């Protein structure tokens, strides 16, 4: 029997300790703890890793503290375009959607693509129609809006600084990781009691990004990858760099072909491949024994690990 576990990330980025409020930090920690416990409960009941990561990421999309679903960041044009992907380690079946504007939970749309379509990725209107045909909830684009994200866009527009990878701006904030400096993808990986792995990733991308821009999150092999023979991976960071290095797949390849542990492979990708390209961020990974790795090159990463039968271990800082 494998050691059942779920791990989450809610974005990596540079810390803003001097402006952090204890109340805001508690909000993040409580949210991560609660969502991790939801995933643990599924695994404890004999549920699959796939169901656990689906529900965890759906809950992260519903939480306005994170940049996925409610609380998503704006494009330059003042709208929302959301991306998500999911993969099952048993069969390497995968599904993804990108550039969607009216799907309440993009991760559910990605799973529907995986389960009901012969394709892997849908984009834009095609992705939405496919989701609505499966009965998924439709919302207006402003459903995802929060005052904090609107203010973040206004700062980016006023600074004329282009798209913010969240580590590229500076603004006073009570967020324990400055929202203008946070790499705000969310994701989950899990190993269930049968030794099956799964991974899921969801994001709204970068503040002030141009409409139509797609990062690594919905790309299988870049922001999300899993194979029971190696490891499950979900990434957060400078999306273009994670695409250029095929980061998630590279972790699995280093395990499969170089004989590295999941921790060695994950660290090599983040520090030896992403950093030299000028990128920043982190990833979460788990293998079939339930061993977890959570490397990140930024000053912090919202993260949590929950083994079945144990209290979640939640972290923000190094």
The reply, when asked if residue 239 is annotated as ligand binding, is yes
285 Ramachandran zone, left/alpha/beta (phi>0; psi -120 to 50):
beta
The reply, when asked if residue 215 is annotated as ligand binding, is yes
| pTM recorded for the entire structure | 0.93
Q: Catalytic one among 54, 185, 201, 203?
A: 185
Backbone angles phi, psi at 283, to 5 degrees: -155, 165
The reply, when asked if residue 213 is annotated as ligand binding, is yes
Distances 145 to 25, 75, 163 between C-alpha atoms, Å:
22, 12, 18
- Domain boundaries of the chain, sorted by first residue: 5-163+173-317
Give the domain 5-163+173-317 fold: 3.60.20
* C-alpha–C-alpha distance, residues 305 and 245, integer Å: 26
In tens digits, the chain (318 residues) has pLDDT values of: 679 999 999 998 765 666 667 888 899 999 999 999 999 999 999 999 999 999 999 999 999 999 999 998 988 898 999 999 999 999 999 999 999 999 999 999 999 999 999 999 999 999 999 999 999 999 999 999 988 888 888 888 887 655 544 433 334 455 666 666 556 799 999 999 999 999 999 999 888 888 999 999 999 999 999 999 999 999 999 999 999 999 999 999 999 999 999 999 999 999 999 999 999 999 999 999 999 999 999 888 999 999 999 999 999 988
The reply, when asked if residue 282 is annotated as ligand binding, is no
Clarify whether 174 is annotated catalytic. Answer: no
The reply, when asked if residue 135 is annotated as ligand binding, is no
The reply, when asked if residue 281 is annotated as ligand binding, is no
């Amino acid at each position: 029997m494998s050691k059942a576990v779920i791990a989450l990330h809610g974005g990596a980025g540079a810390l803003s300790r001097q402006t952090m409020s204890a109340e805001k930090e508690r909000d993040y920690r409580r949210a991560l703890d609660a969502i991790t416990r939801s995933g643990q409960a599924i695994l404890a009941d004999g549920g699959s890793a796939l169901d656990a990561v689906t529900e965890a990421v759906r809950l992260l999309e519903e939480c306005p503290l994170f940049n996925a679903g409610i609380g998503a960041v704006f494009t330059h044009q003042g709208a929302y375009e959301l991306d998500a992907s999911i993969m099952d380690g048993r069969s390497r079946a995968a599904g993804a959607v990108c550039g969607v504007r009216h799907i309440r939970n993009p991760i559910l749309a990605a799973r529907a693509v995986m389960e009901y379509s012969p394709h892997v990725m849908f984009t834009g209107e095609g992705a939405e129609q496919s989701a609505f045909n499966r009965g998924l909830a439709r919302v207006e684009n402003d459903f995802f809006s929060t005052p904090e994200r609107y203010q973040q866009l206004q700062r980016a527009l006023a600074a004329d600084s282009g798209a913010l990878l969240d580590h590229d701006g500076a603004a006073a904030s009570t967020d324990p990781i400055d929202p203008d400096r946070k790499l705000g993808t969310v994701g989950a990986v899990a190993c269930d009691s049968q030794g099956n792995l799964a991974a899921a990733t969801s994001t709204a991308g970068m503040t002030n990004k141009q409409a139509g821009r797609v990062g690594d999150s919905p790309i299988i092999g870049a922001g999300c990858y899993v194979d029971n023979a190696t490891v499950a991976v979900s990434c957060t960071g400078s999306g273009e760099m994670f695409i250029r290095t095929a980061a998630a797949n590279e972790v699995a390849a280093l395990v499969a072909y170089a004989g590295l542990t999941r921790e060695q492979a994950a660290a090599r990708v983040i520090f030896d491949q992403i950093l030299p390209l000028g990128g920043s961020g982190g990833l979460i990974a788990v293998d079939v024994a339930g061993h977890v790795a959570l490397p990140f090159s930024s000053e912090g990463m919202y993260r949590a690990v929950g083994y079945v039968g144990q209290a979640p271990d939640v972290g923000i800082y190094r």
